[in-house]
């Protein structure tokens, strides 16, 4: 499919397919990923590998390799970036452990002539490109939805992601901004679920005995099902839990909907953003003029679309969308 897209693009430009890909056919791209301990990251890596393998097979780039640090440590990821520079990669795609702590390594890459495209958890170094959704809006929309369903408000439990990562900070900021606009809600407790079901379940189980009645749970993804299991184990009725597009969350939601009419909202960035980062990097290497900051919509599942997404999401995975080179061009054009 990717080869067809490149051929069609070449035809539009009045160039041969060989000329269209010649500028990046010898380029090498690496993915530096800080964490792979949940289903979203696994789906992200899988989507990247599928996109990258096809692009290499089609001769679009010479290599596209993925590397994940053994722990979510900025020092380890900085060393990984430095190794990529030494290995002669032309571009580094970066899902960062910190928005600021990797800036020195990113600057080294830029100074060495290596393109850096950060995505999902982005960096603030000016020389890098950034691709993300409006994570603050993800947080705000959770409170807006709760306000529409529970206008009288009440106590909320907040489940955060990985501490110190920009995504976690942005979603939490949006949640708290939403509460400022709807002060009938109050955060009664907060835990870190690390975007992982097992971690979230353990954290919620630990805090539940100290919490009053909770009407809603605001989340960041990968934690909704764990929260539901913790409430069940404690003998407490499940409140309105915002989900994060994981298959286990969607399946639990569907079961509860059939049993008692349970209804909620699920939203997250699509893991396929890694494929978008790949094509954005390829376009920049090919000479395209690309703004430093690109925003993509987040993927939302509602009661009306639940069955559709559940059917298309494999067990253990996440509702997803892969991006093509044409999608990348459209995102770039919209930002210009």
Other C-beta atoms closer than 10 Å to the C-beta of 36 total: 16
Question: What is the structure's pLDDT at 7?
Answer: 32
pLDDT of residue 10: 33
Domains and CATH numbers, the chain: 2-133+270-298+320-335 (3.40.50.2300), 135-268 (3.40.50.2300)
Grouped pLDDT means (10 residues each) for the chain, 336 residues? 34 33 86 92 96 97 96 93 98 96 98 97 97 95 98 98 91 98 98 95 98 97 96 97 97 97 96 97 97 94 97 94 96 94
Q: What is the DSSP string of 159-194?
A: EE-STT-HHHHHHHHHHHHHHHHSTTEEEEEEEE-T
103 phi/psi in degrees, rounded to 5:
-60, -35
First-to-last CA distance in the chain? 27
Task: Supply the pTM of this predicted model.
Answer: 0.83
CA distance 41 to 43: 5
pLDDT given at position 164: 87
Nearby residues of 159 by Cβ (< 8 Å), 6 or more positions away: 190, 191, 192, 193, 200, 203, 204, 217, 218, 219, 220, 223, 227
pLDDT at 30: 98
Whose structure tokens read 């290995």? 87
């Amino acid at each position: 499919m990717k080869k067809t897209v490149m051929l069609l693009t070449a035809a539009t430009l009045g160039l041969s397919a060989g000329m269209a890909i010649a500028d990046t056919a010898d380029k090498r791209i690496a993915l530096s990923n800080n964490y792979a301990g949940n289903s979203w990251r696994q789906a992200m890596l899988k989507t990247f590998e599928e996109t990258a393998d096809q692009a290499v097979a089609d001769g679009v780039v010479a290599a596209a390799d993925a590397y994940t640090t053994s722990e979510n440590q900025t020092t380890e990821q900085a060393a990984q970036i430095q190794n990529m520079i030494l290995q002669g990669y032309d571009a580094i795609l970066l899902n960062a452990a910190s928005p600021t702590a990797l800036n020195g390594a990113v600057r080294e890459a830029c100074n060495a002539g290596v393109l850096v495209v950060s995505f999902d958890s982005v960096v603030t170094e000016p020389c890098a490109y950034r691709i993300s959704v409006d994570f603050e809006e993800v947080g705000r929309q959770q409170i807006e939805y709760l306000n529409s369903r529970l206008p009288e408000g009440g106590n909320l439990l907040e489940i955060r992601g990985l501490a110190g990562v920009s995504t976690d900070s942005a979603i939490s900021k949006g949640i708290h901004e939403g509460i400022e606009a709807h002060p009938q809600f109050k955060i009664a407790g907060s835990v870190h679920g690390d975007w992982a079901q097992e971690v979230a379940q353990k954290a919620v189980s630990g805090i539940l005995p100290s919490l009053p009645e909770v009407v809603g749970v605001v989340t960041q993804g990968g934690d909704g099902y764990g929260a539901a299991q913790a409430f069940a184990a404690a003998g407490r009725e499940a409140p309105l839990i915002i989900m994060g597009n994981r298959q286990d969350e969607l399946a639990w939601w569907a079961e509860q909907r059939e049993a008692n009419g349970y209804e909620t909202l699920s939203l997250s960035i699509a893991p396929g953003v890694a494929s978008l980062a790949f094509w954005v990097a390829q376009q920049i290497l090919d000479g395209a003029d690309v703004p430093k900051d690109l925003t993509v919509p987040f993927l939302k599942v509602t009661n009306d679309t639940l069955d559709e997404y559940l059917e298309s999401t494999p067990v253990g995975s996440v509702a997803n969308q892969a991006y093509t080179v044409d999608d990348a061009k459209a995102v770039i054009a919209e930002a210009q």
